Amino acid sequence: MVQRLRSLEGGTPRRPVILKLVCLLAAIHAPARLPAQNAPPAAPGVLEVTSALGARFYSLPDEKGLVAAAQQNLAADPKNPELLLKLAQAQVAVWQDREAVATCTRAMAVSPPNADLYTERGHRELPLREFTRARDDLNRAVALNPKKMDAYYHLGLARYFLGEFDRAAEAFRHAVDLAPDTDERINSSNWLYASLRRANRQAEAEKALAWLTPETTNTAAHTRFYLNLLRFFQGSLPESQAVPPEPPAGNTDTEAELVFDTVAYGVGNWHLYHNDAAGAQDYFRRIAKGHVWITWGFIGAETELIRGHAGPSVPPR
């Protein structure tokens, strides 16, 4: 789901530069950064994070020199907010989330407080498994702009990954209410449903999907797998049709892994709701075999394996 960042809050005489920052932030504000080569790096880039299961996650190599070029441009004017955000854009493209967080922090030092930068930094802290920091940043974002849908969406994720399911549901409900279109409503409804079910609020969870009818359609192609997941939750689509094919060993199709991780995590959760811990853990372990460690489904599966004391991570695909 590509988030569209809106105008920065806080007055400043440098309005043309700030407006350019909005455009740059919009370009980098996507939850899944899928490189053109759609393949895990043959040689790892920079170590970004080591999970609680012992897995070490790396950025992609800067094969096209995008980060190097952005750094070179910034060197001539190191306090230029526009160039800082261009560097963050390059870093995100190769999964350098830790570096992008640092770059956002540098941009904050030369810009007035605004919800967009707090949302961006909080977003990038989530793949680093820094959920508490992300929650703090995203709380600041919604305080600065209570109408910012994508801030509530990522705040919901931070709370969800922390196990704060009631509070996560509160944030996702705001995201659903503020959704500008059906695609965004589908995406947020998926996580609202999951949060309510994990909070043992089944009746509310079912009500949260009541707006979804057989006629509801997605516009963006990538929303189709979220829509299938919601139909599975409603009982109108069987599990065998909802879950896409699992990427094979040696998979090089990052998009296929993203889709599988997203749906498999939701279906794994469904098994948890129905007291099938073994079935849920099987899904979570299959997701954790992959290499796309930045997706919400991957992070969710890893978090569940940790909660379930499932032992060391499984061998990668």
* β-sheet bridge partners, residue 47: 58
Residue 260: inside a domain: yes
Q: Which domain holds residue 315?
A: 243-317
Residue 72 lies in a domain: no
Let me know: does 177 contact 149? Beta carbons within 8 Å: no
Residue 166 inside a domain? The answer is no
Within 8 A by CB and 6+ apart from 135, the residues are 122, 155, 158, 159, 162
Cβ atoms of 21 and 273 within 8 Å: the answer is no
Residue 314 lies in a domain: yes
What's the number of domains the chain is made of? 1
Report if residue 117 sits inside a domain: no
In a domain, 200, yes or no: no
The answer to whether 171 and 145 are in contact (CB under 8 A) is no
Per-residue pLDDT tens digits for 197-211: 999 999 999 999 999
> For residue 3, is it within any domain?
no
pTM of the model: 0.83
Grade residue 81 by pLDDT with cuts at 50, 70 and 90.
confident
* Res. 101: pLDDT tops 50: yes
Flag whether pLDDT at 270 surpasses 50: yes
Domain presence at residue 269: yes
**65-78: pLDDT as tens digits:** 999 999 999 999 99
Mean pLDDT, residues 268-289: 95
**pLDDT of res. 8:** 27
